[in-house]
Amino acid sequence: MSVGTDELKAKIQAAFSPVFLDVQDVSGGCGQSFDVIVVSEAFEGVALLDRHRMVNDAVADEIKAIHAFSLKTWTPAQYEKKKDKL
């Protein structure tokens, strides 16, 4: 089973209503490796590990078919500080 960026985006969008979402297939298009940035107010006051768990839970079925899943989870304030470095 191959996972697509659209699938991941849709599930993350539905779960977190992010103010910014970037999902990149970095596997050359085969759907096996993704770099993901999620910026959401849902992460306010939530520890980093718990943020990652929240996203992983939202895309649990897709993660089963993925080899690598790199994740950055930021609050809007954190994103404002980091976005120029992306």
Domain coverage including residue 16:
5-84
CB 31 within 8 A of CB 7: no
Query: What is the domain-level CATH number for residue 11?
Result: 3.30.300.90
pLDDT for 30? 84
- Sorting pLDDT into bands at 50, 70 and 90, what band is 1? low
Asked if residue 43 has pLDDT above 90, the reply is: yes
pTM here is 0.92
Quickly list DSSP for the chain.
----HHHHHHHHHHHH--SEEEEEE-SSSSSSEEEEEEE-GGGTT--HHHHHHHHHHHTHHHHTT-SEEEEEEE-HHHHHHHGGG-
- Sorting pLDDT into bands at 50, 70 and 90, what band is 42? very high
> How far is C-alpha 65 from the geometric centre of its chain's CA atoms?
15
Look at the chain and report how many structural domains it folds into. Answer: 1
